[in-house]
């Protein structure tokens, strides 16, 4: 019987998860303490800080669901975080790209999970726009999750 070898060394990338989670927490704290809900500050052309609360999932999807579904979102997020940590641990070959992208998803998920557990909503504040068209408002955690996921997909299908 062959025993699988796991590469626990990939878990060293969890420092990036912690860093991204802390950056997310700090930026949300700064927004909450220096802005009123709905307040807008133009940062550069095409980017505003716009303080809102998002009770739904990504991009406000399912924003009007009841508390029962919000608890399901929390548990799903916990399961996703666990799956990515296990994936990091079980990666036999050392892959810096996979490790970094998994860590980005974990860090972002932890940042938004903390908001959901403590406040029931997630603080979003980055508003990207072109003329009158606005992308859904997001935060640092959302950026980490999206960038990490895109890297995983591109790496998987393009194998760079």
Instruction: Return the active site residues.
Output: 124, 142
Per DSSP, the three-state class of 125 is strand
d(CA 138, CA 123): 8
**Sheet bearing 47-54, strands edge to edge:** 40-44, 47-54, 122-130, 133-134
> Which residue is listed with tokens 């060394």?
9
> Which residue is listed with tokens 């809900």?
37
CA nearest neighbour of 103 among 14, 20, 6, 12? 14
Distance of CA 95 to the CA centre of its chain: 21
């Amino acid at each position: 019987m062959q025993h699988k070898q796991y590469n626990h060394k990939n878990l060293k990338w969890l420092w990036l998860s912690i860093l991204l989670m802390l950056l997310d927490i700090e930026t949300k704290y700064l927004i909450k303490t220096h802005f009123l809900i709905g307040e807008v500050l133009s940062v550069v052309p095409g980017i505003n800080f716009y303080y809102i609360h998002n009770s739904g999932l990504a991009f406000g999807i399912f924003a009007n669901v009841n508390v029962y579904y919000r608890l399901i979102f929390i548990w799903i997020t916990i399961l996703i975080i666990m799956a990515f940590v296990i994936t990091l641990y079980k990666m036999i070959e050392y892959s810096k790209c996979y490790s970094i992208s998994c860590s980005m998803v974990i860090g972002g998920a932890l940042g938004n999970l903390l908001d959901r557990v403590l406040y029931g909503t997630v603080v979003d504040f980055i508003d990207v726009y072109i003329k009158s068209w606005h992308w859904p408002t997001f935060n640092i955690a959302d950026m980490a999750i999206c960038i990490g996921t895109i890297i995983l997909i591109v790496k998987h299908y393009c194998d760079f």
